[in-house]
Each structure stands twice: as C-alpha cells, then as structure tokens.
Amino acid sequence: MQRILITGSNRGIGLELARQYAARGAQVFATCRDPQSADQLHALAQAHADRVHLVALDTGHPESIAEAASTIHAQTDGLDVLINNAAINPRDDRLRAFGQLEPDPILDVLRVNSIGPVLVTQAFADLLRRGNSARVVNISSGAGSLEQQANGCGYTYHASKAALNMFTRCLAGTLQADGIITIVLNPGWVKTDMGGPNATLEAEQSIRGILDVIDRLTIDDNGAFCQWDGKRLPW
C-alpha cells in the first residue's frame, strides 16, 4: 500500500489528490491547516476509514510542521510520496503592484510557498528514506518559469515559485543519495479557488495526469520541472 502525504488537502488540487490516491487504495495522510472545518476531507475519511488520516499541518509554522511530523511518525514507519501542494496567491496590491509593494506581505508568501515545502520535506526526510522508491513532488506553476515571463508578471507569486524551483533542485541534489526522486510540477490551469472559474482544466483531469506523471518518474527526472500532462517546462 502506497503511503502518501499531501499538504493543503482540504480543497482544490490537494483535495482531489487525496481523493484519487484514496480511490486507488493508498494510505493518505491528508494534512491541512484546520482539520475541524475540512468537511470534504472528513467525508473522504469516512468513506475510507482506515486509510485516510486527517492531520493538522500549517506549512508556514515550524511548530505545526513538527507536531504533524510526530503525529505521522506514530502512524507509519515510511512514506512513499510527499506532495507539497499548499500555497497562497492573495489578491493584494502589496504583493503584485509596482509602487505599492511591501516587504512583510511579500515575505509571508515566500514563507509559505517557497520555504514551507523545504521545511516539510526536511521534517519527513527520515520517513521518506524508509519509503519504497520515495518521491517528493513540489507543486509549482508555469508562473515560476523565468523563461515564460517575458511579458510581465505579478512579482511575489512568480518569485515564490521560482524560488521553490531552486529549492527543489537543491533537495533533488541532497536526496538523490537516498534514492528519493524530487521534482517540481506544474498542475496546469485548474478550476479551484485559486485558478478561478475560467481555468482550462477540471481538477479531476489535472490530477489524473499528475498521478500518472508521479507513477512514471525515473531517476532521469530528478530535479526536473514537469507538467501534469507529462511535458517538461523550461526554467
């Protein structure tokens, strides 16, 4: 049985990841900031009582990461897939409008989107080392591709994903010795709260593709910028 940990799994892409992994029989550590109010996750856990575990994990706070790590260490002796999915993209001019940019709000986004995945990976590295050909999948975005931003960009969210891409290359270098494959992955433009209603992909379709990409990863993919449909993205 594959053992999967997902951050930000109470809605959007994270929720659909939890659903599809649960549907194919995996054990899912479905983490989110506030399990109490995660109604859809509770429904999922009820449907797969012994295999879906709700765990509180706020990726912006080291204490919360540490608590989640100790909870999950008590429940499993290995992890096979870690999906760092949680991220924020607030509609706030202090993050994206030249002339109104402010340091502290920008750093709050970098904390969650760029540093959070590194700290979560660090906290679960020993479980991943004891997993079966473990994979770390950091959900990035086409917005993080420097190559693709020739016509303007929204500063903070874009920079946070570019930084995540570099952190991922560092992780890929560190974890390779343990046989762990680490990638960044663009889920495509998906209909979620973040993606909005005009997005081109249903979560169901994007996540089906993502599971397939993760299943097929080989050591040649270590440190690569992959996409939901199997394509590669330029840095």
Partner 1 sequence: MQRILITGSNRGIGLELVRRYLRREDTLIFATCRNPQAAAPLQALAAQHPHRLLILRLEVTDAGQIVEAVTAVRIKVDGLDLLINNAGTYAGRVGDADPQVTQFGALEVGPMLDMLRVNTVAPLMMAQAFADLLRRGHNPRLVNVSSDAGSLTMWDGGAYTYPASKTALNMFTRCLAHDLRADGITVISLHPGFIQTDMGGPRATLTLDEAIPGVIRVIDNLAPGDSGQFLNWDGSRVPW
Ligand X SMILES: NC(=O)c1ccc[n+]([C@@H]2O[C@H](COP(=O)([O-])OP(=O)(O)OC[C@H]3O[C@@H](n4cnc5c(N)ncnc54)[C@H](OP(=O)(O)O)[C@@H]3O)[C@@H](O)[C@H]2O)c1
The listed partner (ligand X, partner 1, none) that binds 234, CB under 5 to 8 Å by sort, is: partner 1
Binding residue for ligand X, selected from 55, 65, 112, 180, defined by CB under 6 A: 112
| CA 22/CA 138 separation, integer angstroms | 20
Q: Where are the beta strands (DSSP E) in 33-70?
A: 52-56
Specify the residue for token string 């089906």: 208
Site string for ligand X, 138-177 (x = CB under 6 A): -x-x------------------------------------
CB 59, CB 7: distance < 8 Å: yes
Is 209 a binding residue for ligand X by CB under 6 A? The answer is: no
Token pair 């995540």 is at which residue?
164
Tokens matching residue 174: 């560190």
Q: Is the dihedral of CA 115, 73, 128, 225 positive or negative?
A: negative
Among 56, 101, 194, 199, binds partner 1 (CB under 8 A): 101
Q: For ligand X, what does the binding mask look like between residues 3 and 42, x meaning CB under 6 A?
A: ----xx-xxxxx-----------------xxx--------
> Could you say whether residue 94 binds ligand X (CB under 6 A)?
no
Q: Which of 134, 127, 1, 115 is nearest to 58 (CA)?
A: 115
Q: State in angstroms the smallest separation of the CB of 30 from partner 1.
A: 23
Q: Shortest distance, CB of residue 26 to partner 1, whole angstroms?
A: 26
The CA angle 223-228-235, to the nearest 5 degrees, is: 40
List residues near ligand X by CB under 6 A: 7-8, 10-14, 32-34, 58-60, 85-88, 112, 139, 141, 186-187, 189-190, 192-195, 199
